Structure 1
Amino acid sequence: MANTSRRALRLLSLFGSRRQWPLREFATALGVSERTVRRDIETLRELGYPITTVHGPEGGYRLGAGHTLPPLLLDHDQALAVAVALQTAPSTVFGLGDDAARALVTLEQAMPAALRETMKTLRLTRLQNYWEFPAPPIDSAALTAVGAAVSHRHVLVTETLRADGSRPVSGDDDFLPARRIEPHHLVVWAGRWYVVAYDLGDDQWRVHRVDRLRPRPTTQLFSPRGLPHDDLARFVMSSHDRGDTAAAWPCTGSARLRLPAGVVARFAPGGSVVEHLDTEHCRLTLGAWSWAGVAGILATFDTGLTELHPPELARACRRMGRRLAAVADTEERP
Structure 2
Amino acid sequence: MSETTGRVLQLLGLLQSRRVWSGEELAGRLGVTTRSVRRDVDRLRELGYPVHASTGHGGGYQLGAGAALPPLLLDPEEAVAMAVCLRVAAGGSVAGVGESALRALSKLDQVMPARLRSQVAAVHDATVTLGAATDTPVEPDVLMTLARASRDHEHVTADYVDIRGNVTQRRLEPYHLVTTGRRWYLMCFDRDRVDWRSLRLDRMSQVRAVGSTFTPRDAPDAASYVRRSISSSPYPYIARVRYFAPHDVVAQAFSAASVHIEPEGPDACILTAGADDPERMVPWLAMPGCDFEVLEPPEVIEAAQRVAGRIARACRT
- Structure 1 length as normaliser, TM-score? 0.45
